[in-house]
Structure 1
Amino acid sequence: MDEALLRSLTPGVLAVLVRRGADFAAAEDAVQDALVEAVRVWPRDEPRDPKGWLVTVAWRRFLDATRADAARRRREDLVEEEPAAAGPVTGFDDTLQLYFLCAHPSLTPSSAVALTLRAVGGLTTRQIARAYLVPEATMAQRISRAKRTVSGVRLDRHGDVSTVLRVLYLVFNEGYSGDVDLVAEAIRLTRQLAAQVDHPEVAGLLALMLLHHARRPARTAPDGSLVPLAQQDRRRWDTRAIAEGVGILQPALARDRLGEFQAQAAIAALHADAPTAEETDWVQIVEWYDELARLTDSPVVRLNRAVAVGEADGPRAGLAALAALDDTVPRHTAVAAYLHERDGDLERAARLYAEAALKAPDLAERDHLTRQAARLNNRGGR
């Protein structure tokens, strides 16, 4: 049994049922029944048209489960007039419509991510729960609420691409916890979206993911500790992923419809292009951060810009840029520590590193900042 084939077909089959008028929760139950039947039947009799087979079985299961309802009888009449399962079911746009449904603005970001992984990614509730490090029952409730929310939403028009991209970006940023690599899953889903949507920001997001993911092997030391970008062994970067990311980004930028993901990818490409940290083109990176700040007006972007200014024009220029920002922005204290260290104020930098460690969002970052404080304290003889 080809589990990868079943997983790839599931979103399209689900979308066909929803497009025909089935509510989301009932449609998913029917598709799951069809998948169970496929596992039982296909090893001895695999169909010529696997997706058409799944659509036929799932639709029949849906009708069986709702036959007593008059509305469902009307849908039976509709399917008799248009028996979609009689031949191959291409459904090129079906999965695309699921993206928009799962990124519906009525959903919270966490619910939209969970529903996308469930409906489009084909992950089980247990896999998603493990990836998020929450109990399976908690994730089941979250997904169930999300399905109820979108059950009455009609798939009669395309939604907002930017909302879909933001959901995929959230999936990417979840990291590598659990038994499902959410970064790899986000790249897979974004590739799928890019194959269906000709939009420079979709290409920009895919390029950004590939360029960041290319540095993954060098981001941690053998003991699991974080390795800052400047100290990473660039020989461990995935050059094929970098080349692919740059190759996707350049045509997108040439279309002159700049968006935030393209700008972020351009910054990542400049980092990837530098043979050493010292050869990084920080002046151009600052220019891209200026574009990104204009597009988003994000305090996090302005924080990262302060770091880039500190590299391009010196730490005091970076500290001046930092002084204009709200000190409650996440990682503000860590950036201040780094810039003060670059400026030679080791005592103040050590104190700020220790303060930043207390605010760190995860254990790995906390340990890294604690080590930076200890390193400077040891250099100062304290």
Structure 2
Amino acid sequence: MDEALLRSLTPGVLALLVRRGADFAAAEDAVQEALVEALRVWPADPPRDAKGWLVTVAWRKFLDQARADAARRRREDLVIQGPAPGPTPSSDDTLRLYFLCAHPSLTSSSATALTLRAVGGLTTRQIARAYLVPEATMAQRISRAKRTLAGVRFDRPGDVGTVLRVLYLVFNEGYSGDVDLAAEAIRLTRQLAAAIDHPEVAGLLALMLLHHARRAARTGPDGSLVPLAEQDRGRWDTELIAEGVAILQAALARDRLGEFQAQAAIAALHADAPRAEETDWVQIVEWYDELVRLTDSPVVRLNRAVAVGEADGPRAGLAALAALDAALPRHTAVAAYLHERDGDLAAAARLYAEAAQQAPSLTERRHLTRQAARLNARLRR
């Protein structure tokens, strides 16, 4: 049984049922039942048209449930006609499903979970393990998302930006459990890029590839965090970098700049430097200026302060930082780094210790604690 094939077919089958009038939750249940049936039947009797088989079985499951459930009688007018015999036509159904799962009525956590379930074809258990929550908790989250979408009419184009933000949230979860969410996000974004010709979709794919190329060098043998400047660049995946840069260049050539293209351009400049000392920080600051113009995001301004500190010196970076809200996530860690660069080791050590207490993850907390200990050891000499 080719589980990868089933996962790749799932979103198209689900979207086709939704387009034919099935409620999202009922359609998703019917597709899951069809997948169980496929796992039982296909090993002994594989179909010639796998997608057509799944559509036929899922549609039958949906009809059976619709007729059996008195509360859904009103939908029967929509489902009297079954799918026509013959090959299942190819359409933009998967793209419609991306937009539906990123519906603005859903929270970010619900949208990411539903995208992984409906578009990615992952099981509730796999998604729960990836997010390190109990399976029952994730099942409730997905059920709430499906209830929220009950009765939603999808009769106008969705927001590409919302879809991209959901996919980027999935990517940033990285790896945990038995599902590599970073790789899964790349797979889904490749699928989206094949379905829609949009420079920001290409920009997000390029950004993911460029970040993913550095993955092997991001942690030490003991699992400790390795900052970008200290990473072994020989461990970076040059093929992913080349692919990401090529995709980015093609997107930028269309002259429709968006935030993901700008972020990818910054990642490409980091990837282009053979050594950390050769990083083109002046150009990176220019790209951050573009990002500020596009997003006016405080987080972007925080990252820009780091780049300014590298391009124009730590005091210029501290001046840029002073204009920002000190309550911003990682503000204290950035201040610690810039004070160390400026030679104020006592202030840097104190700020690293404070930042460790605020760190969102154990890995980051340990890294910042080690930074504080390193500087305190130097101060005692």
Partner residue, 1:304: 303
Kindly provide the CA deviation profile for residues 159-214 of structure 1, in whole angstroms up to 9, marking residues without a partner as x: 01001001001111112122111111100000000001100000000000000000
- Residues 63 and 72, structure 1, Cα contact 8 Å, conserved in 2: no
Counterpart-to-counterpart distance in 2, 1:157 and 1:38: 33
In the alignment, structure 1 residue 115 sits paired with structure 2 residue 114: yes
SS in 2 for 1:185: helix
- Residues 11 and 119, structure 2, Cα contact 8 Å, conserved in 1: yes
Which amino acid counterpart does residue 103 of structure 2 have in structure 1?
H
Which amino acid counterpart does residue 307 of structure 1 have in structure 2?
V
Deviation at 1:70, TM superposition (A): 4.0
Counterpart-to-counterpart distance in 2, 1:115 and 1:266: 30
Kindly provide the CA deviation profile for residues 257-286 of structure 1, in whole angstroms up to 9, marking residues without a partner as x: 100000000000000000000000000000
Counterpart-to-counterpart distance in 1, 2:176 and 2:202: 26
Deviation at 1:72, TM superposition (A): 4.1
| TM-score normalized with structure 1 length | 0.97
Which moved further from structure 2: 125-134 or 261-270?
125-134
In the alignment, structure 1 residue 184 sits paired with structure 2 residue 183: yes
Q: CA RMSD in A?
A: 1.1
Kindly provide the CA deviation profile for residues 3-47 of structure 1, in whole angstroms up to 9, marking residues without a partner as x: 111111111111111111111111111111111111121112211
Partner residue, 2:8: 8
Partner residue, 2:280: 281
Residues paired across the two proteins, number:
378
Kindly provide the CA deviation profile for residues 89-116 of structure 1, in whole angstroms up to 9, marking residues without a partner as x: 1333111111000000000000000000
Which amino acid counterpart does residue 100 of structure 1 have in structure 2?
F
- Residues 209 and 240, structure 2, Cα contact 8 Å, conserved in 1: yes
Kindly provide the CA deviation profile for residues 107-145 of structure 1, in whole angstroms up to 9, marking residues without a partner as x: 000000000001000011111111111111111111001
Which amino acid counterpart does residue 16 of structure 1 have in structure 2?
L
Partner residue, 2:332: 333
SS in 2 for 1:77: coil
Gaps of at least 5 residues in structure 2 are none
Which amino acid counterpart does residue 27 of structure 1 have in structure 2?
A
Written as runs of structure 1 = structure 2, the 5 A alignment for 1:235-314 is 235-314=234-313
Deviation at 1:77, TM superposition (A): 2.8
Deviation at 1:365, TM superposition (A): 0.4
Counterpart-to-counterpart distance in 1, 2:89 and 2:360: 44
Partner residue, 1:29: 29
Distance 1:106-1:55 versus aligned 2 partners, 3 A rule: same
Which amino acid counterpart does residue 81 of structure 2 have in structure 1?
L
In the alignment, structure 1 residue 165 sits paired with structure 2 residue 164: yes
Which amino acid counterpart does residue 146 of structure 1 have in structure 2?
A
Counterpart-to-counterpart distance in 2, 1:32 and 1:355: 48
Counterpart-to-counterpart distance in 1, 2:32 and 2:315: 60
Counterpart-to-counterpart distance in 1, 2:91 and 2:184: 20
- Residues 356 and 364, structure 2, Cα contact 8 Å, conserved in 1: yes
Partner residue, 1:346: 345
| TM-score normalized with structure 2 length | 0.97
- Residues 13 and 51, structure 1, Cα contact 8 Å, conserved in 2: yes
Deviation at 1:76, TM superposition (A): 3.8
Gaps of at least 5 residues in structure 1 are none
Partner residue, 1:215: 214
Kindly provide the CA deviation profile for residues 273-309 of structure 1, in whole angstroms up to 9, marking residues without a partner as x: 0000000000000000000001001111001101000
Which amino acid counterpart does residue 128 of structure 1 have in structure 2?
I
